[in-house]
A and B are shown apart, each in its own frame.
Chain A
Amino acid sequence: MINATAPLLDVRDLTVTINREGRLVTALDKVSFFVNPGEVLGIVGESGAGKSITGAAIIDLLVPPLKRTGGTITLAGERLDQLSPKAMRGVRGGRIGFVFQDPMTSLNPVITIGQQLCDTIQAHLKLGGNQTKKRAHDWLDRVGLPNPDVQFKRYPHQLSGGMRQRVVIALALCADPVLVIADEPTTALDVSVQAHILELLRDLHRESNVSMMLITHDLGVIAKMADRVAVLYAGRVAEIGPVGELFNAPRHPYTRGLIRATPMPSATGEMRLDQIPGAMPGLGAVPPGCAFNPRCFRAEGDCRATIPPLYRQESSAFSCFHPLERVPA
């Protein structure tokens, strides 16, 4: 049984490297975080920060030359990193559901969506044929597809992007997972459809109380969906904290930089746009010390010499020697 106070997913010092013709490049450097039961953890960062690699590493879907080289992943007391590939197949789609970014490429184009749902259900739950079909129908209905009976026999190309993403969400949730990892679930969708999908995810989360890891680059999505947020930068955790605290009083200069660089009208309707100089370092080009130091206005000598550890404070943690004061961003 899961202890109510223990985290559902506990990731410690997760390290992923890339083998580039014999040279090892660190893509994910000792990333630690946890997800509590029933919680939505947002993971945010720019492209190349390692957010998708984090999601893929947890379910062991890293594609070579990417390779997990260290750290522990514990789901409800069980060490996922020590499971055999065969046992891991049972976890993927079973206890951990996954929603990918592009709904066109994550569905099989030559199998009807009903059959894809039935296959997933049968692979993970011991159900008879009729019960499986009924469950698949129910899920199509639950994710808001009109006329589930008709949709059951349709192929992915016959559905719109938003409808396809609903099917992908049904696939992720149909085997009663304890954790859903959603990697950029709305990035490929238009604004008006995005809000639908987010609302659906939120409703399903409230009904089933499943834990969720929401990976996105969109701070607006994070602000509306997440309970806690982890900010990644160049393969390391920059800051983790409750969503309100993180947005209103960030401690890491990168977090505040990211928030202020996002074009958003302020409360007064006035637009401001503060840029962060430079760009995120590429893989293998991470500077010594804090990865953010060349772009940081608070960087000093120690930032260039040593990697700052993750300072923990009550509910939050940040990796910075010269954190910002707790003042409104």
Chain B
Amino acid sequence: MSASDFLVLNHVSKVYRRNQSLIERLKKSESGGTKAVSDVSLTVRHGETMGLVGESGCGKSTLARLVSGLMAPTSGEISFPPNASGNKSRLQMIFQDPYSSLNGRWTIEDIIAEPIRVHKLRTGSAAIRARVDELLVQVGLSAADAEKYPQEFSGGQRQRICIARALAGEPDFLVLDEPTSALDVSVQAQILNLLRDLQKNLHLTSLFITHNLSVVRIMADRIGVMYLGELVEEATSEELFRKPRHPYTRLLIDAAPDMDTSDRSLHPIAGELPNPAFPPSGCRFHTRCPFAQEICRNTSPPQKATESGGMFRCHFDLDLSDATVFPPAAQVRMA
């Protein structure tokens, strides 16, 4: 682990076991289960925002919960360095739904002050209140809002309160799980800009999880792409979009409709997302991949390093910088 490494995930897996029957329990047999996260290795460096993208069921939220310690991994290890004062690094999380993540019976002051009290960051009610006011102003609200209750605020304002609460703990590391997915476009832009400013001013290290490639492109320095529990590619934000190495990344970039009204073509990915409980053999993407060969069906692809420090999992070294290299999706439709 080098000095700049902050969070290191080493071959982390998480299996959700299904309930065992009595006989299975007596026989102590392995019941199997859904491998939500499968052998993910990842490093987040100091001061960097690592983005994670993927569709539903790819394990990105499970990974967020593993990193935040809300669940223990089935295998592998997650390590944080101790911070300057020798204590464990403090971590805070921002959730997707600002309606269910704030306690409606607490005032905003109580909500934001809680991490300050728990971690004993300030003593005395006046000092705590001063810190709450400061945080509210920092996230674009006013000190007068401290007396109010969450239901008096709109979705965007509630997400600002969640951000203030996360910052109140003075975290070294922030986990953001789809922080803008529940918000409207114009409000989403406000929250993304606020988060970008905070990243810059507070030098936060963070893990930013979303299904929206455009959002992650704006927010992250490096991006990891997940598919059915596996990390299939990881590269700097710039390189991932300019020269993706995994076919899924390329297809995902093209699948989201952009706002160009002169080219109205759509680019669906062939087939459907397989059930994550029963991932395909070999390369998990082979059922939908236009480049799939015999080897992809049988052998799991190795993890390959790129010259620029990225990683991808594919048997082939494809040049996917140009979208036109793809055979039309119609040929493999409903595979």
Which listed residue (A144, A163, A195) contacts B255, Cβ 8 A? A195
Determine the interface band of chain A, counting residues with CB < 8 A from chain B: 35 or more
Q: Known pairs A190-B273, A263-B218. 9 more at Cβ < 8 A?
A: A46-B186, A144-B333, A163-B272, A218-B257, A219-B185, A265-B241, A269-B242, A276-B189, A280-B186
- The interface stretch among A30-38, A77-85, A105-113, A254-262 is A254-262
Complex formed: what's the CA distance from A146 to B218 in Å?
39
Q: Which of A221, A259, A265, A274 has its CB near the most chain B CB atoms (within 10 A)?
A: A265
Complex formed: what's the CA distance from A271 to B51 in Å?
16
Chain A contact residues, CB within 8 Å of chain B: 46-47, 144, 146, 160, 162-163, 190-196, 198-199, 202, 217-221, 223-225, 243-244, 247-248, 257-259, 261-265, 269, 271, 273-277, 279-280, 282
| Residues of A with C-beta under 8 A to B295 | none
| Residues of A with C-beta under 8 A to B266 | 195, 198-199, 202, 224
A/B interface sample: 29 pairs, CB < 8 A: A46-B187, A144-B334, A160-B273, A191-B55, A191-B255, A192-B251, A192-B252, A192-B269, A192-B288, A193-B273, A194-B255, A195-B255, A196-B268, A199-B266, A219-B259, A220-B256, A220-B258, A224-B257, A224-B264, A225-B264, A258-B186, A262-B214, A262-B259, A263-B215, A273-B189, A275-B193, A276-B190, A279-B157, A279-B184
Complex formed: what's the CA distance from A177 to B284 in Å?
41
7 tightest Cβ-Cβ pairs between the two chains A and B: A195-B268, A220-B257, A192-B269, A261-B189, A263-B214, A46-B184, A275-B189
Known: A275-B190, A280-B184. A199 touches B268 (CB 8 A): yes
| Residues of A with C-beta under 8 A to B218 | 263, 271, 273
Complex formed: what's the CA distance from A282 to B334 in Å?
44
Interface Cβ pair total, 8 Å cutoff: 129
| Residues of A with C-beta under 8 A to B189 | 261-263, 273-276
Determine the main DSSP class of B at the interface with A: loop
Q: B192 contacts the other chain (Cβ, under 8 Å)?
A: yes
Complex formed: what's the CA distance from A74 to B186 in Å?
34
| Residues of A with C-beta under 8 A to B322 | none
Q: B294 contacts the other chain (Cβ, under 8 Å)?
A: no
Is the pair A192, B258 in contact by a Cβ cutoff of 8 Å?
Answer: no
